[in-house]
Structure 1
Amino acid sequence: MNQNEFEQLAELFKIFGTPTRLQILYALVDQEKCVLDIAQELGMSQSAISHQLSILKQNRLVKNRREGKTIYYSLLDSHVLTIIAQGLDHIRE
């Protein structure tokens, strides 16, 4: 690995270092959801969820699609689920 890859990996792990972001990612494991659904599920404001989703999207962990006025979010790919699952396995051992 080169220095740039180490820095990118550190940034990725930093994104996973916020419990709220992990909760959002976990909420999206089974199905796509809109901001309102996630906010209600986590008991948080829509603005807080939107802010965290924008960070997750910028870092290529979630994607979105628009249906009318509603934007639905989902995990970008299976790598995100794998990272979460392996992290949970590690702390549960």
Structure 2
Amino acid sequence: MHTPEHDSHITELADLFRLLGDTSRLRVVLACLAGPIAVGDIAQRLGLSPSLVSHHLRLLRAARVVKADRHGKQVFYVAADRHISDMLGDMLEHIAEPHPEND
């Protein structure tokens, strides 16, 4: 049964998948899975500018995909919760599975 609330959740989920559909943004999230990491470290690891990484992180924070934790002057980012890390981990496992030729 479709309800307005159900449709709203479907729309929100589609928006989340669109957000994660950007390769650079997805790489930023994946860099945050292992634990707290600073913007500069993400930028260096991924070969992106710190300003671009910050832009992606702002969008990801707004969507509750990552969260920020300030330590002094530095801000560290990490996956927002277990749901995000589990979903991405499961999807990475899925694409690593062998692809049968005739499925």
Task: Determine helix, strand or coil for the equivalent of 2:92.
Answer: helix
Superposed counterparts of 1:41-60, under 5 Å: 41-60=45-64
SS of the equivalent of 1:60 reads coil
Instruction: State TM-score, norm by structure 1.
Output: 0.93
Structure of greater Rg:
2
Gaps of 5+ in 2: 98-103
**What is the distance in 1 between the residues matched to 2:52 and 2:77?**
15
Q: C-alpha displacement at 1:82, in angstroms?
A: 1.1
1:31 aligned partner = 35
1:80 aligns with 2:88: no
Q: Work out the number of aligned pairs and report it.
A: 93
CA distance in 1, matches of 2:94, 2:19: 18
What is the CA deviation profile of residues 27-55 of structure 1, one whole-angstrom value per residue up to 9, with x for unaligned ones?
11111111001000001100000000000
| Identity within the alignment, % | 37
Q: Secondary structure at the match of 1:65?
A: strand
Unaligned runs of 5+ in 1: none
Q: Does 1:4 align with 2:15?
A: no
Report the counterpart of residue 63 of structure 1 in structure 2. Answer: 67
2:12 counterpart letter in structure 1: Q
Distance, in Å, in 1 between the alignment partners of 2:68 and 2:9 is: 26
| TM-score, normalised with respect to structure 2 | 0.84
Shift of 1:89: 2.1
> Which of structures 1 and 2 has the larger relative contact order (alpha carbons within 8 angstroms, sep 6+)?
1
Q: CA deviation at 1:22?
A: 1.2
